[in-house]
Structure 1
Amino acid sequence: MSAPQNFHVVSSPAHFQDLLSQDLNRISLINFWAPWAAPCAQMNEVVLELSRKYSELLVLQVEAEEQQDITESFEVEAVPSFIILRGHTLLGRISGADASGLTTSIAAALRPASSVQPKSYSNAQPAPPDTETPAQLEERIKDLMTKERVMLFMKGVPDAPRCGFSRKTVGILRDHGVPFGSFDILSDESVRQGMKVINNWPTFPQLIVNGEFVGGLDIIQEMIENGEFDEIVVGKAH
Protein backbone atom coordinates (compact mmCIF):
# COMPACT_ATOMS: atom_id res chain seq x y z
CA MET A 1 0.00 0.00 0.00
CA SER A 2 1.42 3.38 -0.98
CA ALA A 3 1.87 6.23 1.48
CA PRO A 4 -1.04 8.67 1.77
CA GLN A 5 -0.83 12.19 0.37
CA ASN A 6 -0.25 13.74 3.80
CA PHE A 7 2.91 11.64 4.33
CA HIS A 8 6.15 13.24 3.10
CA VAL A 9 9.79 12.15 3.14
CA VAL A 10 11.73 15.37 3.71
CA SER A 11 14.55 15.86 1.20
CA SER A 12 16.00 19.20 2.35
CA PRO A 13 15.50 22.07 4.82
CA ALA A 14 13.82 24.08 2.06
CA HIS A 15 11.43 21.20 1.35
CA PHE A 16 10.71 20.94 5.08
CA GLN A 17 9.93 24.65 5.45
CA ASP A 18 7.78 24.66 2.33
CA LEU A 19 5.63 21.81 3.64
CA LEU A 20 5.29 23.35 7.11
CA SER A 21 4.40 26.79 5.78
CA GLN A 22 1.54 25.71 3.52
CA ASP A 23 -0.96 25.80 6.40
CA LEU A 24 0.10 27.33 9.71
CA ASN A 25 -3.03 26.04 11.46
CA ARG A 26 -2.35 22.42 10.55
CA ILE A 27 -1.07 19.87 13.05
CA SER A 28 2.24 18.32 11.98
CA LEU A 29 4.07 15.23 13.19
CA ILE A 30 7.81 15.14 12.55
CA ASN A 31 9.39 11.71 12.83
CA PHE A 32 13.16 11.78 13.35
CA TRP A 33 14.52 8.33 12.57
CA ALA A 34 17.61 6.42 11.41
CA PRO A 35 17.78 3.23 9.32
CA TRP A 36 20.20 1.54 11.73
CA ALA A 37 18.02 1.99 14.84
CA ALA A 38 15.75 -1.03 15.24
CA PRO A 39 13.06 0.79 17.29
CA CYS A 40 12.62 3.21 14.40
CA ALA A 41 11.38 0.45 12.10
CA GLN A 42 8.45 -0.28 14.42
CA MET A 43 7.70 3.40 14.99
CA ASN A 44 7.85 4.17 11.27
CA GLU A 45 4.93 1.77 10.85
CA VAL A 46 3.05 3.49 13.68
CA VAL A 47 3.63 6.88 12.04
CA LEU A 48 2.46 5.58 8.67
CA GLU A 49 -0.72 4.24 10.26
CA LEU A 50 -1.33 7.60 11.95
CA SER A 51 -0.99 9.34 8.60
CA ARG A 52 -3.61 6.99 7.14
CA LYS A 53 -5.95 7.39 10.10
CA TYR A 54 -5.76 11.19 10.23
CA SER A 55 -5.81 12.72 6.76
CA GLU A 56 -5.74 16.21 8.29
CA LEU A 57 -2.36 15.46 9.94
CA LEU A 58 0.80 16.52 8.10
CA VAL A 59 3.44 13.81 8.58
CA LEU A 60 7.09 14.59 7.86
CA GLN A 61 9.71 11.82 7.85
CA VAL A 62 13.16 13.21 8.65
CA GLU A 63 16.18 10.90 8.47
CA ALA A 64 18.09 12.46 11.35
CA GLU A 65 21.65 12.05 10.13
CA GLU A 66 20.84 12.94 6.52
CA GLN A 67 19.04 16.15 7.51
CA GLN A 68 21.31 17.37 10.29
CA ASP A 69 20.27 21.03 9.99
CA ILE A 70 16.65 20.12 10.72
CA THR A 71 17.64 17.68 13.45
CA GLU A 72 19.80 20.25 15.20
CA SER A 73 17.20 23.00 14.87
CA PHE A 74 14.82 20.89 16.98
CA GLU A 75 17.63 19.85 19.35
CA VAL A 76 16.99 16.18 18.62
CA GLU A 77 19.81 14.12 20.12
CA ALA A 78 18.48 10.57 19.81
CA VAL A 79 16.19 8.49 17.62
CA PRO A 80 13.38 7.79 17.43
CA SER A 81 12.11 11.23 18.43
CA PHE A 82 8.86 12.93 17.54
CA ILE A 83 7.87 16.58 17.39
CA ILE A 84 4.23 17.70 17.24
CA LEU A 85 3.54 21.20 15.91
CA ARG A 86 0.67 23.48 15.04
CA GLY A 87 2.21 25.57 12.29
CA HIS A 88 5.51 26.53 13.91
CA THR A 89 4.25 26.21 17.51
CA LEU A 90 5.54 23.28 19.55
CA LEU A 91 2.73 21.20 21.03
CA GLY A 92 4.64 18.12 22.12
CA ARG A 93 7.90 16.22 22.09
CA ILE A 94 8.18 12.46 22.55
CA SER A 95 11.43 10.54 22.82
CA GLY A 96 11.72 6.80 22.32
CA ALA A 97 9.60 4.01 20.89
CA ASP A 98 6.40 4.92 22.75
CA ALA A 99 3.67 3.97 20.29
CA SER A 100 0.87 4.43 22.81
CA GLY A 101 2.14 7.81 23.95
CA LEU A 102 2.56 9.03 20.38
CA THR A 103 -0.91 7.87 19.35
CA THR A 104 -2.51 9.50 22.39
CA SER A 105 -0.60 12.74 21.83
CA ILE A 106 -1.64 12.98 18.19
CA ALA A 107 -5.28 12.32 19.05
CA ALA A 108 -5.11 15.07 21.69
CA ALA A 109 -3.42 17.53 19.35
CA LEU A 110 -6.08 17.01 16.68
CA ARG A 111 -8.94 17.94 19.00
CA PRO A 112 -10.53 21.38 18.45
CA ALA A 113 -7.95 24.14 18.80
CA SER A 114 -9.60 25.60 21.90
CA SER A 115 -8.73 22.49 23.89
CA VAL A 116 -5.10 22.29 22.81
CA GLN A 117 -2.39 24.03 24.80
CA PRO A 118 1.32 23.84 24.01
CA LYS A 119 2.62 20.97 26.09
CA SER A 120 5.60 18.69 26.35
CA TYR A 121 5.05 14.98 26.73
CA SER A 122 7.27 12.57 28.60
CA ASN A 123 7.14 8.92 29.54
CA ALA A 124 8.68 9.72 32.90
CA GLN A 125 6.80 10.46 36.08
CA PRO A 126 7.41 13.88 37.67
CA ALA A 127 10.83 13.89 39.25
CA PRO A 128 10.93 13.86 43.05
CA PRO A 129 12.51 16.83 44.79
CA ASP A 130 16.23 16.79 44.12
CA THR A 131 17.90 15.79 47.38
CA GLU A 132 21.23 14.70 45.88
CA THR A 133 24.06 17.09 46.70
CA PRO A 134 26.79 17.86 44.14
CA ALA A 135 29.24 15.81 46.21
CA GLN A 136 26.86 12.84 46.29
CA LEU A 137 26.32 13.09 42.54
CA GLU A 138 30.06 13.17 41.89
CA GLU A 139 30.54 10.11 44.11
CA ARG A 140 27.74 8.27 42.26
CA ILE A 141 29.21 9.14 38.86
CA LYS A 142 32.70 8.03 39.87
CA ASP A 143 31.21 4.77 41.13
CA LEU A 144 29.51 4.28 37.75
CA MET A 145 32.77 5.09 35.95
CA THR A 146 34.49 2.19 37.75
CA LYS A 147 31.73 -0.44 37.42
CA GLU A 148 33.80 -2.13 34.70
CA ARG A 149 37.37 -1.63 33.53
CA VAL A 150 35.94 -0.13 30.34
CA MET A 151 32.72 1.87 30.64
CA LEU A 152 30.85 3.59 27.83
CA PHE A 153 28.47 6.40 28.73
CA MET A 154 26.21 6.51 25.70
CA LYS A 155 22.77 7.37 24.35
CA GLY A 156 20.74 4.18 24.52
CA VAL A 157 22.14 0.71 25.17
CA PRO A 158 24.68 -1.30 23.14
CA ASP A 159 22.04 -3.40 21.37
CA ALA A 160 19.80 -0.38 20.75
CA PRO A 161 21.89 2.80 20.49
CA ARG A 162 19.96 6.02 20.00
CA CYS A 163 22.55 8.16 18.22
CA GLY A 164 24.99 7.46 15.43
CA PHE A 165 28.09 8.34 17.47
CA SER A 166 27.10 5.87 20.19
CA ARG A 167 26.39 3.19 17.58
CA LYS A 168 29.80 3.67 15.97
CA THR A 169 31.61 3.58 19.30
CA VAL A 170 29.89 0.34 20.32
CA GLY A 171 30.89 -1.11 16.95
CA ILE A 172 34.53 -0.15 17.48
CA LEU A 173 34.67 -1.73 20.94
CA ARG A 174 33.03 -4.92 19.72
CA ASP A 175 35.21 -5.11 16.59
CA HIS A 176 38.30 -4.92 18.81
CA GLY A 177 36.96 -7.52 21.25
CA VAL A 178 36.85 -5.08 24.15
CA PRO A 179 34.49 -6.16 26.97
CA PHE A 180 32.73 -3.12 28.38
CA GLY A 181 29.91 -1.94 30.58
CA SER A 182 27.59 0.86 29.57
CA PHE A 183 25.30 3.50 31.02
CA ASP A 184 22.42 5.16 29.17
CA ILE A 185 22.83 8.88 29.90
CA LEU A 186 19.34 9.53 28.50
CA SER A 187 17.97 7.68 31.53
CA ASP A 188 19.50 10.04 34.11
CA GLU A 189 19.80 13.77 33.45
CA SER A 190 21.83 14.35 36.62
CA VAL A 191 24.49 11.88 35.51
CA ARG A 192 24.41 13.31 32.01
CA GLN A 193 25.10 16.86 33.16
CA GLY A 194 27.53 15.75 35.86
CA MET A 195 29.66 13.79 33.40
CA LYS A 196 30.06 16.90 31.26
CA VAL A 197 31.48 18.78 34.25
CA ILE A 198 33.62 16.03 35.79
CA ASN A 199 35.27 15.11 32.49
CA ASN A 200 35.16 18.63 31.02
CA TRP A 201 33.63 17.15 27.87
CA PRO A 202 30.28 18.42 26.51
CA THR A 203 29.13 15.54 24.32
CA PHE A 204 28.47 11.81 24.34
CA PRO A 205 29.45 9.03 24.10
CA GLN A 206 32.26 9.20 26.65
CA LEU A 207 34.68 6.28 27.01
CA ILE A 208 36.12 5.57 30.46
CA VAL A 209 39.03 3.18 31.08
CA ASN A 210 40.06 2.25 34.64
CA GLY A 211 37.95 5.12 35.94
CA GLU A 212 39.68 7.67 33.71
CA PHE A 213 38.11 9.62 30.86
CA VAL A 214 39.61 8.66 27.50
CA GLY A 215 37.50 10.61 25.02
CA GLY A 216 34.62 10.66 22.59
CA LEU A 217 34.31 9.08 19.15
CA ASP A 218 36.70 11.47 17.39
CA ILE A 219 39.46 10.84 19.92
CA ILE A 220 38.84 7.09 19.82
CA GLN A 221 39.20 7.12 16.03
CA GLU A 222 42.44 9.12 16.31
CA MET A 223 43.76 6.63 18.87
CA ILE A 224 43.06 3.75 16.49
CA GLU A 225 45.00 5.52 13.73
CA ASN A 226 48.05 6.22 15.89
CA GLY A 227 48.05 2.87 17.71
CA GLU A 228 47.14 4.19 21.15
CA PHE A 229 43.77 2.42 21.18
CA ASP A 230 45.32 -1.06 21.32
CA GLU A 231 47.74 0.06 24.02
CA ILE A 232 45.36 2.03 26.25
CA VAL A 233 41.91 0.54 25.68
CA VAL A 234 42.39 -2.99 24.38
CA GLY A 235 45.46 -3.57 26.55
CA LYS A 236 43.75 -2.41 29.71
CA ALA A 237 40.54 -4.23 28.90
CA HIS A 238 42.02 -7.72 29.07
Structure 2
Amino acid sequence: MGWWEELVTNPVIQQKLPEATLETLQMVGVSALLTALLGLPLGLLLHATSIGGLTPNRVVNSVVGFVANIVRSLPFLILMIAVIPLTRALVGTTLQWKAAVVPLTICAVPFFARLVETAVRDVNPGKVEAARVIGATRVGITVQVHIREALPALVSSFTVTVIALLGYSAMAGVIGAGGIGALAISYGYQRFDNAVMAACVVVLAVFVVVVQAVGDVIARALDHR
Protein backbone atom coordinates (compact mmCIF):
# COMPACT_ATOMS: atom_id res chain seq x y z
CA MET A 1 0.00 0.00 0.00
CA GLY A 2 1.41 3.39 -0.99
CA TRP A 3 1.66 6.34 1.36
CA TRP A 4 -1.30 8.10 -0.24
CA GLU A 5 -3.54 5.05 0.13
CA GLU A 6 -2.44 4.70 3.74
CA LEU A 7 -3.36 8.31 4.44
CA VAL A 8 -6.76 7.99 2.79
CA THR A 9 -7.72 4.68 4.39
CA ASN A 10 -6.37 5.30 7.90
CA PRO A 11 -9.40 5.22 10.25
CA VAL A 12 -7.86 7.67 12.72
CA ILE A 13 -7.30 10.21 9.97
CA GLN A 14 -10.82 9.75 8.65
CA GLN A 15 -12.49 10.03 12.04
CA LYS A 16 -10.27 12.35 14.05
CA LEU A 17 -8.51 14.69 11.61
CA PRO A 18 -11.58 16.75 10.55
CA GLU A 19 -12.52 17.41 14.18
CA ALA A 20 -8.93 18.22 15.14
CA THR A 21 -8.64 20.58 12.16
CA LEU A 22 -11.80 22.42 13.20
CA GLU A 23 -10.52 22.73 16.78
CA THR A 24 -7.25 24.21 15.53
CA LEU A 25 -9.10 26.70 13.34
CA GLN A 26 -11.28 27.70 16.29
CA MET A 27 -8.47 28.19 18.79
CA VAL A 28 -6.27 30.04 16.31
CA GLY A 29 -9.16 32.12 14.95
CA VAL A 30 -10.37 33.31 18.36
CA SER A 31 -6.81 33.87 19.61
CA ALA A 32 -5.92 35.84 16.47
CA LEU A 33 -8.99 38.06 16.87
CA LEU A 34 -8.21 38.77 20.53
CA THR A 35 -4.57 39.38 19.65
CA ALA A 36 -5.52 41.97 17.05
CA LEU A 37 -7.92 43.72 19.42
CA LEU A 38 -5.43 43.83 22.29
CA GLY A 39 -2.07 43.87 20.54
CA LEU A 40 -2.75 46.80 18.19
CA PRO A 41 -3.57 49.35 20.91
CA LEU A 42 -0.74 47.99 23.07
CA GLY A 43 1.73 48.46 20.22
CA LEU A 44 0.42 51.97 19.57
CA LEU A 45 0.82 52.72 23.29
CA LEU A 46 4.42 51.52 23.24
CA HIS A 47 5.17 53.81 20.30
CA ALA A 48 3.23 56.80 21.61
CA THR A 49 4.99 56.71 25.01
CA SER A 50 8.47 56.19 23.59
CA ILE A 51 11.01 58.96 23.04
CA GLY A 52 9.81 60.94 20.04
CA GLY A 53 6.28 59.56 20.33
CA LEU A 54 3.10 61.60 20.52
CA THR A 55 2.90 61.37 24.32
CA PRO A 56 6.36 60.43 25.67
CA ASN A 57 6.19 58.79 29.07
CA ARG A 58 9.25 56.89 30.22
CA VAL A 59 7.52 55.21 33.18
CA VAL A 60 4.58 53.84 31.20
CA ASN A 61 6.78 52.80 28.32
CA SER A 62 9.26 51.05 30.60
CA VAL A 63 6.60 49.17 32.57
CA VAL A 64 4.60 48.06 29.53
CA GLY A 65 7.75 47.17 27.61
CA PHE A 66 9.15 45.21 30.55
CA VAL A 67 5.96 43.14 30.95
CA ALA A 68 5.83 42.50 27.21
CA ASN A 69 9.43 41.36 27.16
CA ILE A 70 8.94 39.04 30.14
CA VAL A 71 5.96 37.33 28.52
CA ARG A 72 7.81 37.02 25.22
CA SER A 73 10.81 35.45 26.94
CA LEU A 74 8.81 32.56 28.40
CA PRO A 75 8.74 29.30 26.41
CA PHE A 76 5.14 28.65 25.38
CA LEU A 77 4.94 25.30 27.14
CA ILE A 78 5.97 26.89 30.45
CA LEU A 79 3.55 29.76 29.88
CA MET A 80 0.66 27.33 29.30
CA ILE A 81 1.35 25.59 32.59
CA ALA A 82 1.87 28.85 34.50
CA VAL A 83 -1.49 30.32 33.45
CA ILE A 84 -3.55 27.17 34.15
CA PRO A 85 -5.26 28.82 37.17
CA LEU A 86 -6.15 31.86 35.06
CA THR A 87 -7.37 29.64 32.24
CA ARG A 88 -9.62 27.70 34.62
CA ALA A 89 -10.97 30.95 36.09
CA LEU A 90 -11.77 32.45 32.68
CA VAL A 91 -13.17 29.49 30.74
CA GLY A 92 -13.95 27.00 33.50
CA THR A 93 -11.68 24.25 32.18
CA THR A 94 -8.11 23.52 31.18
CA LEU A 95 -9.05 21.08 28.43
CA GLN A 96 -10.23 21.41 24.81
CA TRP A 97 -9.62 24.26 22.39
CA LYS A 98 -11.31 27.00 24.47
CA ALA A 99 -8.72 26.54 27.20
CA ALA A 100 -5.90 27.00 24.68
CA VAL A 101 -7.20 30.43 23.71
CA VAL A 102 -6.02 31.98 26.98
CA PRO A 103 -2.31 31.08 26.81
CA LEU A 104 -2.27 31.56 23.04
CA THR A 105 -3.59 35.09 23.39
CA ILE A 106 -1.29 35.95 26.29
CA CYS A 107 1.68 34.73 24.27
CA ALA A 108 0.71 36.44 21.01
CA VAL A 109 -0.38 39.88 22.25
CA PRO A 110 3.08 41.19 23.28
CA PHE A 111 4.61 39.55 20.20
CA PHE A 112 2.19 41.37 17.90
CA ALA A 113 2.44 44.59 19.92
CA ARG A 114 6.19 44.77 19.35
CA LEU A 115 5.66 44.23 15.62
CA VAL A 116 3.04 47.00 15.61
CA GLU A 117 5.46 49.31 17.41
CA THR A 118 8.13 48.64 14.80
CA ALA A 119 5.73 49.11 11.88
CA VAL A 120 4.45 52.45 13.20
CA ARG A 121 7.95 53.66 14.01
CA ASP A 122 8.88 53.26 10.34
CA VAL A 123 6.21 55.72 9.20
CA ASN A 124 7.72 58.82 7.59
CA PRO A 125 8.11 61.44 10.37
CA GLY A 126 7.46 64.16 7.79
CA LYS A 127 3.87 63.00 7.39
CA VAL A 128 3.37 63.15 11.14
CA GLU A 129 4.73 66.68 11.26
CA ALA A 130 2.52 67.70 8.34
CA ALA A 131 -0.52 66.41 10.22
CA ARG A 132 0.51 68.38 13.29
CA VAL A 133 0.89 71.56 11.24
CA ILE A 134 -2.68 71.37 9.99
CA GLY A 135 -3.93 70.87 13.55
CA ALA A 136 -4.62 67.15 13.66
CA THR A 137 -5.26 65.69 17.10
CA ARG A 138 -3.19 62.89 18.59
CA VAL A 139 -5.99 60.44 17.91
CA GLY A 140 -6.28 61.74 14.37
CA ILE A 141 -2.54 61.36 13.78
CA THR A 142 -2.61 57.85 15.20
CA VAL A 143 -5.50 56.73 13.01
CA GLN A 144 -5.01 58.74 9.84
CA VAL A 145 -1.20 58.76 9.70
CA HIS A 146 0.33 56.02 11.82
CA ILE A 147 -2.17 53.23 11.20
CA ARG A 148 -3.02 54.23 7.64
CA GLU A 149 0.59 54.55 6.50
CA ALA A 150 1.71 51.42 8.34
CA LEU A 151 -1.26 49.31 7.24
CA PRO A 152 0.66 47.05 4.80
CA ALA A 153 3.31 46.40 7.44
CA LEU A 154 0.62 45.81 10.06
CA VAL A 155 -1.05 43.21 7.84
CA SER A 156 2.29 41.49 7.30
CA SER A 157 2.94 41.57 11.04
CA PHE A 158 -0.46 40.08 11.77
CA THR A 159 0.21 37.37 9.19
CA VAL A 160 3.44 36.44 10.96
CA THR A 161 1.56 36.39 14.27
CA VAL A 162 -1.17 34.07 12.98
CA ILE A 163 1.46 31.68 11.63
CA ALA A 164 3.17 31.72 15.03
CA LEU A 165 -0.19 30.95 16.64
CA LEU A 166 -0.54 27.91 14.38
CA GLY A 167 2.76 26.61 15.68
CA TYR A 168 1.84 27.33 19.29
CA SER A 169 -1.57 25.67 18.84
CA ALA A 170 0.19 22.42 17.95
CA MET A 171 2.12 22.60 21.22
CA ALA A 172 -1.11 23.23 23.11
CA GLY A 173 -1.99 19.60 22.48
CA VAL A 174 0.54 18.64 25.15
CA ILE A 175 -1.83 19.79 27.91
CA GLY A 176 -4.97 18.34 26.33
CA ALA A 177 -6.12 21.43 24.47
CA GLY A 178 -7.23 19.44 21.44
CA GLY A 179 -6.53 20.30 17.83
CA ILE A 180 -4.02 18.90 15.40
CA GLY A 181 -1.23 18.96 18.00
CA ALA A 182 -3.16 16.69 20.34
CA LEU A 183 -3.94 14.32 17.50
CA ALA A 184 -0.30 14.18 16.43
CA ILE A 185 0.87 13.48 19.98
CA SER A 186 -1.84 11.01 21.01
CA TYR A 187 -2.06 8.98 17.82
CA GLY A 188 0.98 9.88 15.75
CA TYR A 189 3.74 9.93 18.35
CA GLN A 190 2.50 7.79 21.24
CA ARG A 191 1.01 5.08 18.99
CA PHE A 192 3.80 5.26 16.41
CA ASP A 193 1.35 5.96 13.58
CA ASN A 194 3.46 7.69 10.93
CA ALA A 195 0.47 8.22 8.66
CA VAL A 196 -1.33 10.29 11.30
CA MET A 197 1.81 12.28 12.00
CA ALA A 198 2.31 12.95 8.30
CA ALA A 199 -1.31 14.02 7.87
CA CYS A 200 -1.03 16.48 10.77
CA VAL A 201 2.16 17.96 9.33
CA VAL A 202 0.56 18.35 5.91
CA VAL A 203 -2.53 20.10 7.32
CA LEU A 204 -0.43 22.54 9.34
CA ALA A 205 1.79 23.22 6.33
CA VAL A 206 -1.27 23.95 4.19
CA PHE A 207 -2.58 26.34 6.83
CA VAL A 208 0.72 28.22 6.91
CA VAL A 209 0.94 28.47 3.12
CA VAL A 210 -2.64 29.73 2.84
CA VAL A 211 -2.31 32.28 5.64
CA GLN A 212 0.96 33.61 4.22
CA ALA A 213 -0.46 33.84 0.70
CA VAL A 214 -3.59 35.66 1.83
CA GLY A 215 -1.57 38.03 4.01
CA ASP A 216 0.82 38.83 1.16
CA VAL A 217 -2.05 39.56 -1.24
CA ILE A 218 -3.78 41.89 1.23
CA ALA A 219 -0.53 43.68 2.12
CA ARG A 220 0.31 44.28 -1.55
CA ALA A 221 -3.22 45.55 -2.23
CA LEU A 222 -2.90 48.08 0.61
CA ASP A 223 0.58 49.25 -0.37
CA HIS A 224 0.18 52.28 -2.64
CA ARG A 225 3.80 53.36 -2.65
| TM-score strictly above 0.5 | no
Structure 1 length as normaliser, TM-score? 0.26
**Structure ranking higher in helix proportion:** 2
**TM-score, normalized by length of structure 2?**
0.27
